[in-house]
Amino acid sequence: MNRRDLLTLGGAAAFLAAAVPRIIPAAAAFDDQPGSLRARADRKGLLFGSAVNGRALGDPRLQKVLISDANILVPENELKWDAVMPAPDTYDFSRAEAIYAFAKANDMKMRGHTLTWYRSEPAWAADRIAGMSAAQTGDFLEDYVGHVVGHWKGRIAQWDVINEPTTAKGVLLEKLWSAKLGEQYMDIALHATAQADPHALRMMNQTLIAQEWWWEDKQRDETLRIVEGLLKRGAPLQGFGYEAHLRTSYAFSEGKWARFLEELKQMGLKFMITELDVDDSGTIGDVDARDRASAALVKSLLDVSLSFDHCLGVLTWAAADRYSWLMQDKDRKRSDGMALRPTPRDADFQKKPVWNAIAQALDAAPAR
Amino acid at site 241: G
Strand partners for 52: 75
Angle between helices 353-364 and 287-306 (to 10 degrees): 20
- 61-99 in b/e form (b: 16+ CB < 10 A) is ebeebbeebbbbbbbbbbbbbebbbeeeeeeeeebbbeb
Strand partners for 50: 73, 316
pLDDT value for 28:
52
C-alpha span between 72 and 108 (Å, rounded): 5
Pairing, β 239-242 against β 245-247: unpaired
pLDDT value for 240:
98
What string of pLDDT tens digits covers the 368 residues of the chain? Answer: 344 443 434 444 444 333 333 334 444 567 677 899 999 999 999 999 999 999 999 999 999 999 999 999 999 999 999 999 999 999 999 999 999 999 999 999 999 999 999 999 999 999 999 999 999 999 999 999 999 999 999 999 999 999 999 999 999 999 999 999 999 999 999 999 999 999 999 999 999 999 999 999 999 999 999 999 999 999 999 999 999 999 999 999 999 999 999 999 999 999 999 999 999 999 999 999 999 999 999 999 999 999 999 999 999 999 999 999 999 888 888 989 899 999 999 999 999 999 999 999 999 999 99
Residue 235: left if φ>0, alpha if ψ -120 to 50, beta else—which one?
beta
Closest CA to 81 of 138, 141, 20, 24: 141
C-alpha span between 113 and 202 (Å, rounded): 11
Q: What is the per-residue pLDDT across 161-177, written as a single tens digit (0 to 9) for each?
A: 999 999 999 999 999 99
Q: What is the dihedral of CA 329, 99, 106, 206, to 10 degrees?
A: 50
**What residues contact residue 191 under an 8 Å CB cut-off, 6+ apart?**
142, 235, 236
Pairing, β 201-206 against β 239-242: parallel
pLDDT value for 23:
36
C-alpha span between 190 and 34 (Å, rounded): 41
Angle between helices 254-266 and 214-232 (to 10 degrees): 10
pLDDT value for 335:
87
pTM (two decimals):
0.92
Alpha carbons within 13 angstroms on the beta-carbon side of residue 260 total 28
Backbone dihedral angles phi then psi of residue 351, each to the nearest 5 degrees: -65, 140
Angle between helices 184-196 and 134-151 (to 10 degrees): 30
- 37-49 in b/e form (b: 16+ CB < 10 A) is bbebbeebebbbb
**What residues contact residue 198 under an 8 Å CB cut-off, 6+ apart?**
none
pLDDT value for 29:
64
Contact 361, 302 (CB under 8 A): yes
pLDDT value for 279:
97
Residue 291, classed as helix, strand or coil, is helix
